[in-house]
């Protein structure tokens, strides 16, 4: 029976520390969150971010924009936020409507305010082993969980299922920087099970039920980044938790696993950008 990694309590601990840190500061960080349209999942995430920011003492402004907003108008709004000295961190909630080019939007965000660590400068720094202004929140949260539970990364075979720009790709680089041997699997991977079975650390970030007991090496560490509603409307993850927990050494649940860590890391990134910004002026 695996040890259940309690992401919620690790995230709560980080929240407490951040609250303490901010209570000693006169000026407060200010996070701007842009949501375009009203994708139900995005609304839930944006509300969670706003609530957590309030709890910690971070100012947050949510900018709700119409689903049909023109790309150039969105770019103009981001440029305004880049120039606004009272804003320290900018987050554009993804996914974007189809008529808007995600890469173009991310390119517009100033690297100094890029709280997700998605811009070319920050991802490039990450790739080159230079500390970026901010690390992508979900990969950062996964690494913090592994460290909190003293799970060794160096020399281990980490298998990531999912190659998104938000999770899979940056997480692969971050694990590589921690000296893991990294394999990324995706929708075109042949013999997925053969590869996942080799994982010392198996991380799934797909968004559908894909990891079953016969795909997991006994005593491995299983991290579930997926979160979605099943056919009964219940929140669940990529991993068949009930069966996999019997053979893994460590496993994250969904909910209360990686999710709360993503938000805690977003808060930490906001405060870091704020502090760097103060140093520059």
User: Does the annotation count 116 as an active-site position?
Assistant: yes
Question: Which residue out of 52, 113, 114, 116 is catalytically annotated?
Answer: 116
Identify which range of 20-28, 87-95, 175-183, 224-232 contacts ligand GUN by CB under 6 A: 87-95
Using CB under 6 A as the binding rule, whether residue 116 contacts ligand GUN is answered as yes
Q: What is the DSSP string of the chain?
A: -PEEP-HHHHHHHHHHHHHHHHHT-SS--EEEEEEES--HHHHHHHHHHHHHHHHHT-EEEEEEE-TT--HHHHHHHHHHHHH-TT--EEEEPSSPPTTS-HHHHHHHS-GGGBTT--SHHHHHHHHTTPPPSS--HHHHHHHHHHHHTT---TT-EEEEE---TTTHHHHHHHHHHTT-EEEEE-TT-SSHHHHHTT-SEEEE-SSSS-B-GGGS-TT-EEEE---EE-TTS-EE-SB-HHHHTTT-SEE--SSSSHHHHHHHHHHHHHHHHHHHHHHH-
Among 62, 63, 69, 94, binds ligand GUN (CB under 6 A): 94
- How many Cα atoms within 13 Å fall on the side-chain side of residue 172? 18
User: Does the annotation count 20 as an active-site position?
Assistant: no
Using CB under 6 A as the binding rule, whether residue 96 contacts ligand GUN is answered as no
Backbone angles phi, psi at 5, to 5 degrees: -80, 120
Minimum separation from the CB atom of position 119 to ligand GUN (A): 12
Closest among 152, 181, 186 to 169, alpha carbons compared? 186
Question: Which residue out of 35, 52, 93, 113 is catalytically annotated?
Answer: 93
Report 144-183 residues binding ligand GUN (CB under 6 A). 166
Minimum separation from the CB atom of position 229 to ligand GUN (A): 15
Among 10, 53, 81, 91, binds ligand GUN (CB under 6 A): 91
Question: Which residue out of 35, 49, 52, 156 is catalytically annotated?
Answer: 49
Q: Pattern of binders to ligand GUN over 8-47, x per CB under 6 A?
A: ----------------------------------------
Minimum separation from the CB atom of position 259 to ligand GUN (A): 10
Minimum separation from the CB atom of position 143 to ligand GUN (A): 15
Using CB under 6 A as the binding rule, whether residue 93 contacts ligand GUN is answered as yes
Distance CA 4, CA 223 (A): 10
Among 46, 74, 92, 180, binds ligand GUN (CB under 6 A): 92
Identify which range of 74-82, 92-100, 223-231, 269-277 contacts ligand GUN by CB under 6 A: 92-100
Of 116 and 240, CB closest to ligand GUN: 116
Residue pair 93/35 in contact (Cβ under 8 Å)? The answer is yes
Of 137 and 239, CB closest to ligand GUN: 137
Tell me the two tokens of residue 277: 């910004």
Minimum separation from the CB atom of position 236 to ligand GUN (A): 17
User: Does the annotation count 93 as an active-site position?
Assistant: yes
**What are the residue numbers of the active site?**
49, 93, 116
Using CB under 6 A as the criterion, which residues of the chain lie in contact with ligand GUN when the complex forms? Answer: 91-94, 116, 137-138, 166
């Amino acid at each position: 029976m695996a040890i259940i990694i309690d992401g919620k309590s690790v995230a709560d601990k980080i929240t407490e520390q951040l609250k303490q840190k901010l209570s000693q500061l006169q000026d407060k960080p200010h996070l701007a969150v842009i949501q375009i349209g009203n994708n139900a999942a995005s609304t839930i995430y944006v509300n969670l971010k706003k609530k957590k920011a309030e709890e910690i003492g971070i100012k947050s402004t949510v900018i709700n924009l119409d689903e049909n907003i023109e790309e150039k108008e969105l770019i103009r709004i981001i440029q305004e936020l880049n120039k606004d000295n009272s804003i320290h961190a900018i987050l554009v909630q993804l996914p974007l409507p189809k008529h808007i080019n995600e890469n173009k939007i991310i390119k517009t965000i100033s690297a100094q305010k890029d709280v997700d660590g998605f811009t070319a400068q920050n991802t490039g720094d990450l790739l080159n082993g230079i500390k970026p202004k901010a690390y992508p929140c979900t990969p950062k949260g996964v690494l913090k969980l592994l460290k909190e539970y003293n799970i060794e990364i160096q020399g281990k075979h980490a298998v990531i299922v999912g190659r998104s720009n938000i999770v899979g790709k940056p997480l692969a680089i971050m694990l590589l920087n921690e000296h893991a041997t990294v394999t990324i699997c995706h929708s075109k991977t042949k013999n997925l099970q053969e590869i996942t079975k080799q994982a010392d650390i198996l991380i799934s970030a797909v968004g559908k039920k894909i990891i079953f007991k016969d795909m997991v090496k006994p005593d491995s560490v299983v991290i579930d980044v997926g979160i979605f509603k099943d056919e009964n409307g219940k929140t669940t993850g990529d991993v068949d938790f009930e069966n996999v927990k019997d053979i893994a050494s460590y496993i994250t649940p969904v909910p209360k696993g990686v999710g709360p860590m993503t938000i805690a890391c977003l808060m930490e990134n906001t405060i870091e950008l704020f502090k760097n910004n103060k140093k520059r002026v």
